[in-house]
A = this chain, B = another copy of it.
């Protein structure tokens, strides 16, 4: 490991639904605008020759596709951009890795290459969502379809660490459930409730169960749930936000309120989670950001900026110390 001054972020140009060139062009613009980090591009050999040779480019002989089986892909495609990026991260040749590729493969490769942090059995995907007040960190939004109650406590610890890295001194945690009372939900959730409640030793950290409709009131900093429910929650929020804003635009265009386009654009960007730094893969020993597979080049830029912030704010160290104190 060589000593170096600037932060280096690796980007997987392959395996998403967006053309590598489109992402590349957007990142190039970002660099020209004075982005304060170095970028390392992981890209297929076919494409790498067309890129500016003065940039740091890692040509890869394989590509993991969206439809690939994660287990098979990670085993057989070690020379893919996805696997090579994680290898660079493991070797500390980059400080963070951003990919919009196959989620299952990214999860599995990150787990085997980087290893999980002490005290973490299951890495989780974390997404940040806007609310009426402060933003809420939701996890897991898709890494683990089924979990055990003690995993929820680990998710809570990771969410707290993340919010602390965003400058929130005492983050509070809510458990996504179908009612506020402790006895609500499945037996697993009732057990998770008790385990989370045990975190309230010295100070109030666990705020109890929270319903989907109350999440957006912004009373909590971290929302914990299993990866299936979290994924449904996130995608429902995204779909409904898009629906409402489209309805409004339609309304306004018909009513010749087109001068409100700017107002709507502001709100749209506030609501759309493309503006957010993608999902963070928490619980592995490295900073990995996952962007949507079907997202615009713009989304990548937010992912890259988000990754930089995580490095700058020592997210990984904060998670480690949080896990030491909590588990």
Give the interface of A toward B (CB within 8 A): 131-132, 142, 145-146, 176, 178, 185-186, 211-217, 228-229, 231-248, 251-252, 255, 257, 260, 263, 266-267, 270-271
Contact = CB atoms under 8 A, between A and B. Distances in A.
Contact of A212 (B217, B233, B255): B233
Contacts of A252: 263
Given A263-B251, A271-B244, A232 B233 contact: yes
A131 B242 CA distance: 11
Contacts of A229: 228-229, 232
Contacts of A131: 243
Contacts of A211: 235, 239
Nearest to A181: B67
A325 B10 CA distance: 57
Contacts of A213: 235-236, 238-239, 242
7 contacts: A176-B232, A178-B235, A212-B233, A212-B235, A213-B236, A216-B239, A236-B236
Contact of A255 (B216, B245, B263): B263
A242 B216 contact: yes
How many identical chains are in the complex?
Answer: 2
A244 B268 CA distance: 10
Main secondary structure of the interface of A (DSSP, over half): helix
Nearest to A141: B178
A246 B215 CA distance: 15
Contacts of A244: 241, 244-245, 267, 271
A25 to B, nearest CB: 27
A236 B251 contact: no
Given A229-B229, A235-B212, A257 B263 contact: yes
B234 A212 contact: yes
A185 B145 contact: yes
Contacts of A236: 212-213, 215, 233, 236-237, 240
Contacts of A146: 186
A293 to B, nearest CB: 10
A94 B94 CA distance: 71
Nearest to A237: B240
B270 A247 contact: yes
Contacts of A237: 212, 236, 240
Which 3 pairs across A and B sit closest by C-beta, in order of nearness?
A213-B239, A212-B236, A212-B235
B228 A178 contact: yes
A145 B183 CA distance: 13
Nearest to A246: B132
A212 B186 contact: no
A255 B261 CA distance: 13
Contact of A231 (B178, B245, B248): B178
A267 B240 contact: no
Name which of A217, A231, A232 has the most chain B CB atoms within 10 A of its CB.
Answer: A232
A256 to B, nearest CB: 12
